[in-house]
């Protein structure tokens, strides 16, 4: 394994729900479900659930900190859990479902403690943060049927995440509430129409449909990175088209039944802005998807301006570190 990689270990309740938020993101090599923090070697799922082993359900993440900094992993971790609950997570109760950050070195410990303190002082929650910060202990890989559960049993996983209360908690607690009156002052009429009213700009008459410069596209509302010119191609449709987002975690899809069609809408997770649609007629060699976006929903940051604009950590996309 490359020397660039480090390990992060998080316990966030049921480990089924802690793989998807990290998996398939840039800089993530792998995410493993397992057990840690206890006193029993090679425990089984049944033993851990009995709350007699001292173990917590957890995920072990192998990551490249130059691409996905530990601070960013922590931000994602906090946004998957109720950090004020000392007795478990949502419908899952007991010791094995408690939350914890297991640090692997002194730097991770300091970053985690600072992150926890900032969350505690932010006023986000009325109760104190209960998530513990603990030294890493041996991690035991869970049984194979628990690995990548969100992929293997996607229907049951979705039902479980919704039924447990986790999905609604995340939406109600962590999704940004946008003041649309202020946005009207910040955005141009077409930017507002596209992002807030699910509008569509004219093909071949928008800013980036034929852009051939190197750089990244960010959410015009939140500034989160969405797409890279490395994944842009000319689809002949008159809108900027991409084979994939930079970070799948930053976009979400939604069924769109408007205009007498059934389409998959793409929205920004950070701002809930309408971005465009995704279709299955993209280049097969790149996965077969076409993310057809509205220029008005994005801002282009040229490669030579990325450092200045605060996006220097994304220069890895262009072979620069």
Can you give the pLDDT at residue 261? 81
Which position among 14, 17, 49, 237 bears the catalytic label?
A: 14
169 found inside a domain = yes
- Residue-range definition of the domain harbouring residue 115: 6-174
Res 249 pLDDT > 50: yes
Question: Which of 1-10, 35-44, 45-54, 209-218 comes out lowest in average pLDDT?
Answer: 1-10
Is 111 in the same domain as 234? no
Nearest CA to 299 among 198, 239, 225?
225
State pTM to two decimals. 0.86
Is 201 in the same domain as 156? no
Res 260 pLDDT > 60: yes
Is 233 in the same domain as 311? yes
Concerning whether 17 is annotated as a catalytic residue, the answer is no
Nearest CA to 310 among 210, 222, 180, 192?
222
Is 97 in the same domain as 138? yes
1 found inside a domain = no
Which position among 17, 49, 237, 292 bears the catalytic label?
A: 292
Concerning whether 237 is annotated as a catalytic residue, the answer is no
Token pair listed for 117: 């303190």
Is 205 in the same domain as 156? no
Residue that terminates a domain, selected from 127, 147, 174 = 174
Residues 62-101 have pLDDT tens digits of 999 999 999 999 999 999 999 999 999 999 999 999 999 9
Is 164 in the same domain as 206? no
CB atoms within 10 A of CB 210: 10
Non-local (6+) Cβ contacts of 27 within 8 A are 63, 64, 65, 66, 67, 68
Measured CA distances, 61 to 34, 285, 315 (Å): 11, 28, 23
Our count of domains for the chain comes to: 2
What is the C-alpha separation between 65 and 228, in angstroms, rounded?
20
Residue that terminates a domain, selected from 158, 174, 190 = 174
Is 200 in the same domain as 96? no
């Amino acid at each position: 394994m490359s020397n660039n990689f480090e390990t992060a270990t998080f316990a966030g309740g049921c480990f089924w729900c802690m793989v998807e938020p990290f998996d398939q993101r840039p800089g993530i090599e792998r995410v493993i479900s397992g057990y840690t923090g206890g006193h029993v070697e090679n425990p089984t799922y049944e033993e851990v659930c009995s709350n007699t082993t001292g173990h917590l359900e957890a995920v072990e993440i192998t990551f490249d900190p130059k691409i996905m900094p530990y601070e960013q992993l922590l931000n994602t971790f906090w946004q998957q859990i109720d950090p004020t609950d000392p007795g478990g997570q949502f419908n899952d109760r007991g010791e094995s479902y408690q939350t914890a950050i297991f640090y692997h070195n002194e730097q991770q410990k300091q970053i985690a403690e600072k992150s926890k303190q900032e969350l505690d002082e932010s006023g986000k929650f009325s109760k104190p943060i209960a998530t513990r910060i603990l030294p890493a202990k041996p991690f035991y890989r869970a049984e194979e049927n628990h690995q990548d559960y969100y992929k293997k049993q996607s229907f049951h996983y979705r039902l479980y995440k919704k039924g447990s209360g986790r999905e609604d908690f995340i939406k109600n607690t962590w999704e940004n509430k946008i003041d649309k009156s202020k946005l009207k002052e910040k955005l141009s009429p077409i930017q507002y129409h596209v992002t807030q009213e699910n509008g569509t700009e004219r093909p071949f008459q928008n800013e980036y449909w034929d852009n051939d410069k190197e750089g990244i596209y960010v959410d015009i509302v939140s500034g989160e990175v969405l797409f890279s010119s490395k994944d842009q191609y000319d689809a002949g449709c008159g809108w900027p088209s991409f084979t994939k987002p930079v970070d799948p975690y930053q976009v979400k899809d939604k069924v769109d039944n408007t205009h007498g069609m059934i389409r998959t809408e793409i929205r920004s997770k950070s701002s809930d802005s309408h971005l465009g649609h995704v279709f299955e007629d993209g280049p097969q060699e790149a996965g077969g998807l076409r993310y057809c976006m509205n220029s008005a929903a994005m801002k282009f940051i040229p490669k030579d301006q990325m450092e200045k604009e605060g996006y220097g950590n994304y220069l890895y996309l262009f072979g620069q570190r």
